[in-house]
Every structure is written in C-alpha cells, then in structure tokens.
C-alpha cells in the first residue's frame, strides 16, 4: 500500500486505533484522512494487571464499533500502540515498566475472537512515527526515516514509497542505534542507545547528572532540590529562557540524536528525516540543533540531499498511528 | 527489477561491467547469469592522471563491444565500479587516493558520447555488495544488508525484494556507520567509521598500533620490524596459527563490524546479513566472530530472525557487481 492518503484504496479503509498509555487508553476510528469523529479516552487501570488492561482495551474497541453504527466487519482491523516491544505474533515482550503484568500478554487473539477483526500492534512511539509517515510530514515522500521522541525513541522507515517493516514487522527500531560507545545502559541490553539520551527519560537523566556536577542556574537548582520535578518540558522551558545548563542538556540530546540521524543518512540516504514525538514539540530549537549535529555525523554529499523537518502531528499522533498500522497491514 | 536472476527480463539484459583498480582495470560482459565469456584486464596507468585512466576505460569498453560481435546498442549500459565516492551525475567526488587526478572526473558523458550507452557508477566495494545481492548469497532474499570488506567497507541494501539505492543512488554507505565515539579519523570527515577498523586498511592499522604497545608474537615482530609487510592477509594467516596479537586484531575488527551489523539489524531487521569482500575470504573465522559481537550489539528478538552468512562471490565480484549496477539501472 502507498503511504499517500490520496488513493481511493486508502480512504475507503477504516480501522480502530488504540493508543495505550500508563494512565489512559485512547481510541478512535481512523481512515486514510485521519480521525473519524472524536477520540475516546478511558482509564488504563494499570494497577489491575495485564488482563484488566486488556479488558479495558476490548471494551473500548466494542464501544467505538457500537458508536459507529456500523458492523465490526466494516473495519479492516484494529491497530494497537503500546509501550514496550511487541513480538510478531502480538505478544508483549517487555519494556513496558509502567504497566505491571502487561509483559507476556497476547493482544491479537482476544481482539480477533471477540470482534472477528485482525489486529496489529507496535510500540507506541513507532505508531507516532507511522502517523507522520501517513498523515504528516512524510506524506508522499519516497524514502524517509522518522524519529519520534517520547518516553523512548521510536522510528519508522519508508523505502521506495512504502512503509518498510521488515519480514517480521520489527524494522525501524531507530531508538536503539548506538551513538555512544560504552554509554548508558539500555533495557534492550545494549549500551549507549540514542533513546537513552534523546528521549524525555534521557533528557531528564542528563539534566540530573549535569546538575550534580555543579552550576547555579535555575535548572541546576531544581534538579538538585527536587529531581522529580525535572521533565523534558521543564528543561525546554528553560532552554527558551537561556538557562545555561538547560542549553547544555539540549545540545547533548541533539548531538546524540544527530549521530543517529547521521547513521541513517549514510546507510539509507533518505529524502527526508522527520523528527516528532512529544519532546520534539519544542519545535525549531531541536530541529536546528539536530541539523547542525547530523551535518557533522554524515557524509556531506548525502546529507545535502536530505531535509530534516519537524513532525506535523499533534497529540493524537499515537492513536492515528495505531489506526494507520491496521490500515497499512489489512487495508485495501 | 527483482534481484533474482531467474526472471526472463533479467537474463535478456546484457551490460558492460568495468572494475577500476589502482593497478588494473577489469572489464567483462555481464548478464543476469554472471560473466559472459572472459574477464579482460588492462593496466590502469594511474600515474597518467584522470584523463588517461578514463581513456583506458573507454578503450576497454570499445574492445569488449568489438569482441562481442554485437552492436553497442545490444547492451543496456555500462556499469563502473571505482575507488572513492561517485556523485549522482557520475562525477568522482574523492576518496580515491591511489588514483591522482581521478577526483572531479565525469564518467557518464564520455561513455554515452562514444558508445551511445547510459552509464552507472558506484564505489567499487558497493559493487561487490551488489554482486552478492544479484548473484551470490543475497539471491532471492527479501530484506538484506551486505557488508563488503576491501580496502574500504562497502555496503548494499535490499528492501522488499529490490535493491535499495535511495533517490540519489547514494544509499548503502554502511562503511561509514560510526561504531566508536571519537574514534579514528575517516576521510569522509567523521570519526570512528566502521571502515577505519574492519577494512584491510583498518586491520593493518590496528595491528601496527597494537604491536607498538609490545608483545613478542610473530605478528608483533613483523609489524615493528617491517610494517609495510603487514597486510590483512598476513594477519589472518597468523590468526590461523594462533598468534595472540593477530587474534586480538581480528577480534577488534569483528567487534567493530559487529556493532555496525547490530545497528543495521535494529534499524532494518534484515532477513540476512552478508559479509563479503577480499578481507572476509578468511571465511568462517570472521563470520563466527561477527555473529558473536552482533548478538551483543542488537535487540535479541530481531537478531534471532537474521542470518549472518559469508559472501559467495570470488575475485570477479567487482566486475560482476559493476555490470549488475547497469543491469539494475537500465535493464529490462
């Protein structure tokens, strides 16, 4: 299927998109143009364990189908964005620390048994990347890489005008490109993954580590006095105010991301690299810095032929991307 | 075009393949089955400068066409593998230090003006990778990455069953994946590119550096007494003999290559990674070590779904790959 949304094939396919978060589950009907109707939100009830979370997802799917007034069979499938990593058969492999008991849950068969619909799941940040590919800054681009900066760093690749997923649906783990030899330990088992530096989690860790080394800026004092209050948003508010520590934290994150972008440029020569996700909403400041660092970390002749642009999707990117996952897989 | 050589489209296309080296230029007629007839070899005459080298290439193309007994128009085009880096329009951008005056040479228009055939050029080690994709260990594989270890490290990517070149023919510079933060300087402008460690050049440098630190093994004594005699072949002969320094040099090269392979596994989830080129002819010893290191440097669930295998092509890989380049671009 083409990533372009202008084909009739794409616009006639409708899917249910589910974006699972630690606090809320968001669900919506998605077609090739975007969200149909409104986004519905229910509590995750993560404390109830994996089966409770799954039950809440199934209820939300049922509610969305019922509200649509159409039969389940009018949808091509259900797409689910989830924290952590999903195996090719729909089993959560781990990496979803804020959802106790979610690891090991099989998410495909319950959806199919209850609604007769096929399901596709992916990491929630990968889903954000997919939303950019299908609805945002990636529309119509032939060769593209997308980095989505959230709690982790997700990725997506378009090759020759099609979403590139690999033979097992596992391609695009761009957050686990190693950018610092012997660097921070990553739950994936490697050291120095870009996700450990350029995600919200990574930025907070850098701020706290750098603050511990000294300095009297507002961010340094906050990070030492009340580390729990340090968020990537708090860092970027202070970048805007010129806080010297915040600027250093920001430069570090963008250097690390620039290295991963550089690797993708050399290996893949994309026409466009899209930087999205919640963290990147700080906007121009991140894009400009990543461009600067990626130029240092890639072959000039290839770099010159690649645009680095901000994502275009807003807060519904996760649910849009989840629906897009099902449209990509089962639509048309 | 499919990379498989079993389609009638591919087998009916014939191209001229030219493999430019520092000492000799090799040329042959290539079709979808491999080399047609014999490989012809003429001196490069690198000392004569870029125009002399180009003249020798053109003469060789003319000779091959004449010998074929068929008109130039019976060929789909000319493919040229060259040291260094080639721009999308066929201009040598540099990186060919053993060919003075070759940088800046335009190679497409003289071929087209003289023979009325389109030309395609690529780095010589990229061409080796392409030969593996079309004729060797990559045949019929849907998603694949190839690393070719020669003077440099070349690469190639197959995505969804097709050679992936990017919009400007520049994709697959896998030798310039950075694997050591702040590592060895690379002519490409970066530091720590895998090419600086896992190519013949890199292996020799590692051997000389490690020998300078001490040790009394045969390789250590050779490297200190007669560094010009240290070649990657000399290192691998001593690996086979159990020379302790040689084994450390080998492990270092495979660790570095394993990191780059791991990055490609995480980003791209290939079904197969092929390791080829002159250096890799040491065979099993390199493949086993690279597997060991790549396992440490990639996500286990993705790694498990990827084979790491040796290349199958011999010494004509360069000329075969050059011809394959033209068949890929202009054939069928």
The pLDDT tens digits of the residues spanning B110-156 come to: 999 999 999 999 888 888 888 988 889 988 899 999 998 988 888 98
Interface of A with B in 126-155 (CB under 8 A): 142-143, 155
Instruction: Say if residue A250's pLDDT is above 70.
Output: yes
Instruction: Please name which of B260, B332, B329 lies closest in space to residue B88, comparing C-alpha atoms.
Output: B329
Q: Is residue B291 part of a domain?
A: yes
Check whether A5 has a pLDDT greater than 50. no
Binned at pLDDT 50, 70 and 90, residue A320 comes out as: very high
> In this model, does residue A226 exceed pLDDT 90?
yes
Q: Is residue A73 in some structural domain? A: yes
Q: What percent of chain B has pLDDT over 90?
A: 68
How much is the mean pLDDT over chain B?
A: 90
The span from the CA of B253 to the CA of B199, in Å, is: 8
**Is residue B136 one of the residues assigned to a domain?**
no
CATH code of A294's domain: 3.30.420.40
* Per-residue pLDDT band at A197 (split at 50, 70, 90): very high
Average pLDDT across chain A, whole number: 90
Q: Band the pLDDT of A253: cuts 50, 70, 90.
A: very high
B295 touches chain A (CB under 8 A): no
Residue A94 pLDDT grade (very low, low, confident, very high; cuts 50, 70, 90): confident
pLDDT at B138: 87
Residue A136 is assigned to a structural domain of this protein: no
CB-nearest to A264 from B87, B192, B267 is: B267
Confidence class of residue A239 from pLDDT cuts 50, 70 and 90? very high
Q: Which residues of A touch B271 (CB under 8 A)?
A: 166-167
Cβ of B226 under 8 Å from any chain A Cβ? Answer: no
Instruction: Pick B167's closest partner by Cβ from A142, A165, A264.
Output: A142
Q: Is residue A242 part of a domain?
A: yes
Q: Do residues B66 and B112 both lie within one domain? A: yes
Element (H, E) at B82: strand B77-82
Q: B266 vs A173: CB contact, 8 Å cut-off?
A: yes
Lowest mean pLDDT among A66-80, B213-227, B309-323: B309-323
Q: Percent of chain A having pLDDT more than 90?
A: 68
For B19-67, the pLDDT digits (tens) are 999 889 999 999 988 988 899 999 999 999 999 999 999 999 999 999 9
Judging contacts by C-beta atoms under 8 Å, the chain A residues touching residue B181 are: 179-181, 183, 192
Start-end of H helices in chain A: 8-12, 50-68, 108-115, 124-135, 195-198, 200-212, 218-225, 232-240, 244-268, 284-296, 300-303, 317-330
Residue of B nearest to A185 (CA): B297
Asked whether residue B135 is domain-assigned, the answer is no
Domain range holding B159?
Answer: 141-310
Say yes or no: B163 and B106 in one domain.
no
pTM of the model: 0.84
End-to-end alpha carbon distance in chain A: 8
In a shared domain, residues A125 and A259? no
Residue A314 is predicted with a pLDDT of 82
Q: What mean pLDDT do residues A126-147 have? A: 88
pLDDT of residue B2: 35
B166 pLDDT higher than 70? yes
Based on the domain organization, do A149 and A57 belong to the same domain? Answer: no
B159 and B252 in a common domain: yes
Partner residue opposite A190 with nearest CB, options B157, B270, B297: B297
- Which are the contacts of B119, defined by CB distance < 8 A and separation ≥ 6? B77, B78, B79, B80, B90, B107, B108, B111, B112, B326
Residues 247-266 (A) with a CB less than 8 A from some CB of B: 259, 262-264, 266
B314 pLDDT band, cuts 50/70/90, is confident
A-chain residues near B164 (CB < 8 A): 159-160, 268
Report the pLDDT averaged over residues A126-143.
Answer: 87
> Span A134-159, mean pLDDT?
89
């Amino acid at each position: 299927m083409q990533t372009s949304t202008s084909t009739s094939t794409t616009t006639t396919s409708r899917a249910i998109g589910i974006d699972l978060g630690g606090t809320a589950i968001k669900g919506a009907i998605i077609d090739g143009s975007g969200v149909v109707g409104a986004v519905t939100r229910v509590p995750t009830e993560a404390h109830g364990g994996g089966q409770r979370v799954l039950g809440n997802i199934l209820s939300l799917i049922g509610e969305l189908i019922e509200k649509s007034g159409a039969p389940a069979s009018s949808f091509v499938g259900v797409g689910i964005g989830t924290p952590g990593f999903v195996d090719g058969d729909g089993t959560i492999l781990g990496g979803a620390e804020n959802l106790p008991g979610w690891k090991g849950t099989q998410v495909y068969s319950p959806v199919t048994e209850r609604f007769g619909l096929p399901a596709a799941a992916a990491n929630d940040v990968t889903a954000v990347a997919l939303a950019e590919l299908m609805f945002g800054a990636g529309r119509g681009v032939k060769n593209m890489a997308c980095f989505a900066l959230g709690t982790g760093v997700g990725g997506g690749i378009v090759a020759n005008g099609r979403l590139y997923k690999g033979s097992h649906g596992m391609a695009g783990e761009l957050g686990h490109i190693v950018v610092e030899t012997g660097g921070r330990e990553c739950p994936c088992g490697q050291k120095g993954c870009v996700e450990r530096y350029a995600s919200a989690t990574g930025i907070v860790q850098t701020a706290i580590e750098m603050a511990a080394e000294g300095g009297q800026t507002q961010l340094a004092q906050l990070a030492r006095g009340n580390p729990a209050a340090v968020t990537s948003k708090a860092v970027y508010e202070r970048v805007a105010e010129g806080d010297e520590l915040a600027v250093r934290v920001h430069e570090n994150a963008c250097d690390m991301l620039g290295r991963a972008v550089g690797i993708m440029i050399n290996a893949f020569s994309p026409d466009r690299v899209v930087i999205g996700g919640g963290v990147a909403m700080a906007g121009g400041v991140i894009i400009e810095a990543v461009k600067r660092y990626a130029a240092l970390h890639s072959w000039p002749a290839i770099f010159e032929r690649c645009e680095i642009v901000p994502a275009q999707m807003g807060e519904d990117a996760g649910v849009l991307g989840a629906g897009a996952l099902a449209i990509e897989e089962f639509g048309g």
